[in-house]
C-alpha cells in the first residue's frame, strides 16, 4: 500500500460508498439503455391517442351532419304539407269552382252515356 490513511485520502472510498456508487452507475446505465424503448412506447402512445381523437372528431362531425339533414327534411316536409289560407282556397277553387272543368266533365258523361247505349 502507499501508506495513506483511507479515512483521509480523498481518492479512496469507503466500501459501502463504493458499492453505492457502483449501484448508481449500473442504474444510470440501465436507464440510458431503456430510454429508447420508453421513448418508442411514448411515441406509439401519442400516435394512438391522436388517431383516437381524429376518429372521435370524425364521428362528431358525421353526427352533426346527420342531425342537420334531419332538420332540413323536417322543415321541408312541414313547408310542403302545411297549407296556408291562400293555398287551401286555391285548391278548393280548382277542384270545385271551375266552370270549364264542369263542362268537360258533363260532355265526357254524355259521350260515355251514348257509348253505353250503342255498345
Per-residue pLDDT of the chain (119 residues; tens, 9 = 90+): 455 555 555 556 566 776 777 777 777 666 666 777 777 888 888 899 999 999 999 999 999 999 999 999 999 988 888 777 767 677 666 666 677 777 888 889 899 888 887 76
pTM for the full predicted model:
0.41
**Half-sphere exposure (CA, 13 Å, Cβ side) for 21?**
7
What is d(CA 1, CA 11) in angstroms, rounded to the nearest whole number? 14
Amino acid at each position: 500500500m502507499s501508506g495513506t490513511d483511507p479515512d483521509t485520502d480523498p481518492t479512496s472510498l469507503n466500501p459501502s460508498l463504493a458499492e453505492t456508487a457502483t449501484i448508481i452507475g449500473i442504474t444510470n446505465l440501465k436507464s440510458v439503455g431503456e430510454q429508447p424503448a420508453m421513448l418508442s412506447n411514448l411515441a406509439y402512445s401519442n400516435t394512438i391517442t391522436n388517431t383516437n381523437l381524429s376518429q372521435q372528431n370524425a364521428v362528431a362531425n358525421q353526427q352533426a351532419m346527420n342531425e342537420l339533414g334531419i332538420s332540413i327534411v323536417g322543415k321541408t316536409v312541414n313547408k310542403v304539407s302545411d297549407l296556408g289560407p291562400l293555398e287551401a282556397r286555391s285548391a278548393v277553387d280548382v277542384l270545385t269552382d271551375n266552370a270549364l272543368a264542369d263542362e268537360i266533365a258533363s260532355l265526357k258523361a254524355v259521350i260515355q252515356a251514348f257509348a253505353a247505349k250503342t255498345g
